[in-house]
Amino acid sequence: MSNIVFVNILRFLALYFLQVLILRPASIGWEGFFYVNVHIYPLFILLLPLRMSKPAILLLAFVMGLLIDMFYDSPGIHTSALLFMAYARSYVLSYVEPREGYNVNYSPTKKRFGLNWFFQYASILIALQLFFYHSVEEFTFVYIIDILLKTFYSYLLSIIFIMMVMFLFNPTD
Amino acid sequence: MGNLLQLLLRYGGFLLFLLLEGICFYMIVRYNKKQNLIFTSTSNIFVGSILDQYDDVAKFIRLSEDVDLLRKENARLKSFIKTDLYDNSYRLDTFLGDSVRMRYEYIPVKVINNSIAKKDNHITLNKGIDHEVQKHMGVISNNGVIGVVKNSSCCFSSVMSILHRQTRISASIRSKGYFGSLVWNGENSRIMQLNEIPRHAIIVVGDTVETSGNSNLFPKGVQIGIIKEINRKEGPNSYDIQVELSNDIANLQYGYVIKDLMKKQLEEAIDE
């Protein structure tokens, strides 16, 4: 039990610093080309235990989003997207539910539910998060083409990074 | 209270989501330059369009007041029209200010009862003796003649409509001068008959019929209608002319009662 809490705290810190110290400079470094915005931190929300209550997930997403926004200097933008993703999590979970149902003591990881299942689960939520993020970032649907392009490119890179992390560490919980 | 708690438990996730998103949205438009700019200009457009629509509604509500105001103004201006003034000059060098006198005054009125279906129609107006509306005054609308006041009480007056079989209105044909009397045969509410125009007069369909100014009921030149049909009757020495009215009595709402300021002088002269 305390193991799960410890793992999640560690994951929180690791993903957070990976995002703000390594991935942020990487995406800002390409001048004039902001299509690529690799988001790895949503993985923390993705991997939270299945039995965790909705309000707790939302609050964690809120805290994480605010901390990310502090570094990106964009108060509220990452937070709102991450909140949206956290809220959508339970609906996506019931959408991709396997035939035998969930064991509520598990966390939704690749090791527990298989690669196919995890890829499906992660890609839906990451796509939602990125689309929401880029919409709020533009703040108008006049540039819907821009929003969709940015979402697409960021999505490809983000999902590659996330799957890489999953293969490297392959956590059970 | 228990219900509220249940509601919170049930939709707690959703309400918390809305609350946190609300905070985010506030931060986004408060602290981000670009988003703030877009938000304020969009809300300006939105608020502007709402205010615009509200203004339209308010204007519409004020409309009847504005109409009243305009009618009073119209009545005042009408009395300055040249044909409504009495020419007071008798020498070539009459001082300009003395050369004309005001002859007619207009009182704006509202039609509160009307009919066209009968053979002898009457109209009721919302002004009476208190407003200087009296017997034997002409009533016109913006684009035609309505009738003659038959009776008036303190606050209302009854008008014999031009759609009445006893109506006789002295009418002439514009710019030709021939005059006759306009009557109604009780059939079509848009058509009246002009009699007593002599056979030698050259008139065509489409000529304008106006008041002649021969009676003191109407000033000269108020349009009545246009000639629609000219028939030559066998016996009498005059045409039988059908005149299409320029105003529709059926949808009458507003009018002006004409007060002749020199009625007494005219009557004195005729009596003697």
Q: What is the pLDDT of residues A109-144, one digit of tens each?
A: 888 888 999 999 999 999 999 999 999 988 888 888
Q: Please choose, from the candidates B109, B133, B134, the residue with its C-alpha nearest in 3D space to the C-alpha of residue B252.
A: B109
CA distance B184 to B249: 13
CA distance A124 to B217: 87
Q: At B97, which helix (H) or strand (E)?
A: none
- From the list A53, A65, A77, the residue facing B32 with the nearest CB is A77
Q: Is pLDDT above 80 for B74?
A: yes
Q: Is pLDDT above 80 for B159?
A: yes
Q: Is pLDDT above 60 for B181?
A: yes
* Interface contact flag, B28 A59, Cβ < 8 Å: no
> B58 and chain A: CB distance < 8 Å anywhere?
no
* Interface contact flag, B20 A83, Cβ < 8 Å: yes
Q: Is pLDDT above 80 for B97?
A: no
Chain A positions in Cβ-Cβ contact with residue B16 (cut-off 8 Å)? 54-55, 58-59
* Interface contact flag, A80 B24, Cβ < 8 Å: yes
Three-state DSSP string of A81-113: HHHHHHHHHHHHHHHCCCCCCCCCCCCCCHHHH
Burial (CB < 10 A; 0-12, 13-18, 19+), residue B147, is buried
Q: Is pLDDT above 70 for A29?
A: no
Highest mean pLDDT: which range of B69-73, B179-183, B268-272: B179-183
Q: How many CB pairs under 8 A join A and B?
A: 62
Helix (H, G, I), strand (E, B) or coil at B147: strand
Q: At A147, which helix (H) or strand (E)?
A: helix A144-169
- From the list A80, A84, A90, the residue facing B28 with the nearest CB is A80
* B150, B125 Cβ separation under 8 angstroms: no
Q: Is pLDDT above 80 for B81?
A: no
pLDDT at position A47 is 92
Q: Is pLDDT above 70 for A1?
A: no
pLDDT at position B272 is 65
Q: Please choose, from the candidates B117, B164, B165, B123, the residue with its C-alpha nearest in 3D space to the C-alpha of residue B254.
A: B123
pLDDT at position B160 is 92
Q: Which of B24, B26, B41 to mutate to test the interface with A (most CBs of A within 10 A)?
A: B24
Q: What is the mean pLDDT of residues A75-97?
A: 92
* B89, B232 Cβ separation under 8 angstroms: no
Chain A positions in Cβ-Cβ contact with residue B26 (cut-off 8 Å)? 76
Chain A positions in Cβ-Cβ contact with residue B38 (cut-off 8 Å)? 139-140
Q: Is pLDDT above 90 for A44?
A: yes
* B238, B232 Cβ separation under 8 angstroms: no
- From the list A55, A59, A76, the residue facing B28 with the nearest CB is A76
Q: How many residues does chain A have?
A: 173
* A147, A136 Cβ separation under 8 angstroms: no
Beta carbons within 8 Å of B226's beta carbon, 6+ residues apart: B206, B207, B208, B209, B243, B244, B246
* Interface contact flag, A55 B39, Cβ < 8 Å: no
Where in chain B are the domains? 2-62, 109-271
Name the residue type at position B1. M
pLDDT digits (tens, 9 = 90+) for B201-237: 888 898 899 998 887 788 888 889 999 988 887 667 7
CATH architecture of B109-271: Beta Barrel (2.40)
* Interface contact flag, A80 B32, Cβ < 8 Å: no
> A54 and chain B: CB distance < 8 Å anywhere?
yes
Phi, psi of B85 (to 5 degrees): -100, 150
> Binning pLDDT at 50, 70 and 90, where does residue A82 land?
very high
Helix (H, G, I), strand (E, B) or coil at B30: helix
Q: What is the mean pLDDT of residues B182-201?
A: 87
> A74 and chain B: CB distance < 8 Å anywhere?
yes
